Every structure is written in C-alpha cells, then in structure tokens.
Chain A
C-alpha cells in the first residue's frame, strides 16, 4: 500500500534528475568537431522513460519538458514540445516491441526516432524562423546511436537506485 503511493514521487524524482543531467550535458562546452555529433540528450532520456514507464511518462510530460527547454534556450514556443511529444507518442505505442529487442536493434530504432524528431523540429523551425537544414544537422543522430547503450545502462542504474519498478 505504502509502496504504491510512493512510486509516482520516486518516478518524478528520477525523471527530474535525469532531465537535469541531460540539460547539463546539452549545454556543456565542447570542441567544434565533437559538438557536431553531440546527441540530443533530452530526447534520449525521454525515449528511455517512455519505454520503461509508458503508462506514466507520455506525450504530456514530454511536451512540458520541451516547453521548459524552449524557455531556457529561448527558442520559439511549441516546436520542441511538439517534436518531443511526437517522439514520446511513437515510443509509447511501440514500447512492447522495443523492450524485447536487443541493444543493437534498439540502437537502430533510436537513430530512427531521433531522426524523426529532428525532421519535425527542423521543418517547424524552417516555417517559423529562417532556419535551413544542413547536412551537419543530421550528425547528432549518429551521436545519439553511439551513446544510447550507455544512456540506457546509466538510467537503468538510476532506476534501480531509486527503486522505481
């Protein structure tokens, strides 16, 4: 009884901690060549939570995180929210299939998902501001695929440390 009441709190603590870490990783200063491949950490974190807790973390949470990011990064409102919500929705509706995949298959799918996210946000930024998609715009997909196994393992650690089931 007590446990079932505690769980949402623990889950939100886990989500907040991981989002904060992802935020720090996003804004960390890097050399130019590495920066081009720097993945969207927030997207990876959202993919993870939508995969593990699809009944709690979904489009609404992703939209809220995206909107907060837009405030922090001073981007036009709604774009990241829409992109991340779509990402969360896709992951939510396919979580049963993705969970039983091997890490390598997951990695390919994560690349696809991040690609979809970047496509949506790129299009929308192109509509609301003068932004053009260059070839470098797609490099972070590779970074996201490379980092996904590590992100997955670290977040599993975090989850077991917070005893979120």
Chain B
C-alpha cells in the first residue's frame, strides 16, 4: 500500500507526538507545573502499581509459612538475644545522653536537634536500573517532606526526593546522582561518598595519595549537607586502589544499610512540626521542663 496520503498522516502523527513530548520535557525540566497532574495521575494509576507488586507480595506471604520450625526457633532465639542486648545498651545510653547534655551545656554548645522517627513500608516497585529509587508508603498525608533522611536499622538508605499524597520516592545513596558528606569514624577525615549505580558499591572520590584511610574504616554521616543528621553509619571502606601519577586514590565503599533487602525503613524528621501518626515512635528523651 503505497498510499502517499497514509504516509503523510503517519508522519504528521509522529511529528505531533514528538512535538508534545518535547514540550512536556521542557516544561517538566524547567518548571514544577506538571507535579499536580502527575500526582492526580499517580493516584489514578495506584491500582496498577498495586497489581504490579502482587507477585512479590504473594511470595512474601508464603515464605513465612514455608519456613521450618527449627529455623523459626533459631530466628526467635537470635531476636531474643538481640533484644536483651539492645535493651541493656539502651540503659547505658540514657546515662550517656544525660552526660552528653550536661557537657554540651558546659561548653555552651547548641542542643542537638531531636529527631522524630516514622516507620514506613517499602512499596516494592523497585524502580529503575539507572535511577536507584524506591517508593515508600508514606506521603504528604503523613507529613513527609522533600529532603527527609531515610535510614534502616543498620545505616543510611537515602533521602526523600518526591512526595506524593499517599507515597513518596526515596533516592538511594547508591544512585549515580547522589552524593553524601561523610566522615571517617576512626580519624575524623571529612569526605564525600558518591553512588555509582551499583547497589553494593559506593565511590569515595577526591582522597589524596597520603590520606589516612584503610580497609574496614567506617564512614558516618556528618550533619554538613543539612539533610542527614550526623553520626549515622553509611558505609565501610572495602577497597583502596593507589595509582601512580594520579592525584587521588580510588576508594570504594560498601553500604552498611540493607539497601536492596529491607522492607521497612525509618524516616527521620528534623523539626517534626506535624503531629506524627499512630505507629510512629518517638526517639530520644523527653526534655525536662
């Protein structure tokens, strides 16, 4: 069918679509006008999202039933032991916290900001290969805000980049576009970790040949970017490669948090203006007034 009219209408349709895409692209990359429609559409599409996560949820539903009792016993014992260990450590922590506050008062230092913790569940649309992002089940409704730090029970996971009414998007520290100011716990050396697109590797750039760093060093967050509170473990140095004639050494680190395995994450909020909802837990001592 070499119908010239048909050909022309094909071209014009394609041209129209290309034009619309480019307009969308420009609008979306320069303004925030499209966030509203996007939110509306995302609510409309949330059944699809739920449908897409059904296979994973079915798998998770059956795994506990299929684990052997012996395994459960071991898991129970482990949890029990860990519980008592943590409990005793918490007791110690209270006295330390008190001491710390007194010392800070002596030094006239500012009070450390209290952090509120909100539990959030991962909705498992594990988004993309090139963008390391996850969706969590807390949104605008729960007082989530852009820039909020997200951790799990081991360490830092990432930060909130997009807040939708019922869910929000967290960019992981392993995202190629993410950088996080950290400090080497052993020496206090300040540096940055960059994501490189692999879930198990982070890059520590710009370290001099004579930087005091070794394998196994723990990197903790500094409060510097203003996003993450300080002192949370981020990564462990896993590999140091020195190259002759290069100004910097190549350092690789492994994230401490279970980036690809944890189902529950914690949202840290700095100022906690909104009253937190039912299953949020409050971290830190109530201050004596």
A residues at B contact (CB < 8 Å): 20, 23-24, 27-29, 32, 35-36, 38, 58-60, 62-63, 67-68, 71-79, 81-82, 85-86, 89, 92-93, 124-125, 127-132, 134, 136-137, 140
Residues of chain B contacted by A89 (CB below 8 angstroms): 10, 14
Let me know if B251 is at the binding interface, CB within 8 A: no
Interchain CA distance A102-B38 in the complex, whole Å: 42
Let me know if B162 is at the binding interface, CB within 8 A: yes
Let me know if B153 is at the binding interface, CB within 8 A: no
Residues of chain B contacted by A78 (CB below 8 angstroms): 20-26, 28
**A75 touching B199 by the CB < 8 A rule?**
no
Stretch among B85-93, B105-113, B120-128, B214-222 lining the A interface: B120-128
A69 → chain B, closest Cβ, in Å? 10
Interface of A is mostly: helix
User: Given A71-B38, A82-B21, is A130 in contact with B177 using a C-beta cutoff of 8 Å?
Assistant: yes
The winner among B20, B133, B162 for most chain A CB atoms within 10 A is B20
Residues of chain A contacted by B18 (CB below 8 angstroms): 82, 85-86
Chain B positions 124 through 159: 1 when the CB is less than 8 Å from some CB of chain A, otherwise 0 = 111111110101000000000000000000000000
Interface of chain B residues 32 through 62 with chain A (CB within 8 A): 34, 38, 41-42, 45, 48-49, 51-56
B147 → chain A, closest Cβ, in Å? 16
Interchain CA distance A49-B45 in the complex, whole Å: 23
**A76 touching B28 by the CB < 8 A rule?**
yes
B36 → chain A, closest Cβ, in Å? 12
Partner of A60, one of B17, B25, B38, B129: B17
User: Given A63-B17, A89-B14, is A27 in contact with B28 using a C-beta cutoff of 8 Å?
Assistant: no
- CB nearest neighbor in B for A81: B21
**B25 touching A74 by the CB < 8 A rule?**
no
The winner among A67, A72, A127 for most chain B CB atoms within 10 A is A72
**A73 touching B48 by the CB < 8 A rule?**
no
Let me know if B176 is at the binding interface, CB within 8 A: yes
Chain B positions 9 through 21: 1 when the CB is less than 8 Å from some CB of chain A, otherwise 0 = 0100110011011
Let me know if B200 is at the binding interface, CB within 8 A: yes
The winner among A28, A35, A86 for most chain B CB atoms within 10 A is A28
Let me know if B169 is at the binding interface, CB within 8 A: yes
**B25 touching A35 by the CB < 8 A rule?**
no
User: Given A27-B125, A36-B129, A58-B10, is A74 in contact with B29 using a C-beta cutoff of 8 Å?
Assistant: no
Let me know if B223 is at the binding interface, CB within 8 A: no
B35 → chain A, closest Cβ, in Å? 10
B30 → chain A, closest Cβ, in Å? 9
Let me know if B165 is at the binding interface, CB within 8 A: no
**A134 touching B197 by the CB < 8 A rule?**
yes
25 sampled A-B residue pairs with Cβ under 8 A = A20-B48, A20-B52, A24-B54, A29-B124, A38-B129, A59-B13, A68-B41, A72-B52, A72-B125, A73-B127, A74-B42, A74-B162, A75-B128, A76-B29, A77-B25, A77-B34, A78-B20, A78-B22, A78-B24, A81-B24, A82-B25, A85-B14, A128-B28, A131-B177, A136-B197
- CB nearest neighbor in A for B38: A71
A142 → chain B, closest Cβ, in Å? 14
B263 → chain A, closest Cβ, in Å? 11
Interchain CA distance A27-B52 in the complex, whole Å: 7
- CB nearest neighbor in A for B19: A82
A22 → chain B, closest Cβ, in Å? 10
Residues of chain B contacted by A67 (CB below 8 angstroms): 24
Partner of A24, one of B52, B197, B200: B52
The winner among A35, A68, A73 for most chain B CB atoms within 10 A is A73
Chain B positions 55 through 90: 1 when the CB is less than 8 Å from some CB of chain A, otherwise 0 = 110000000000000000000000000000000000
Chain B positions 155 through 199: 1 when the CB is less than 8 Å from some CB of chain A, otherwise 0 = 000000010000001000000110000000000000000000111
Partner of B56, one of A28, A36, A73, A76: A28
A147 → chain B, closest Cβ, in Å? 16
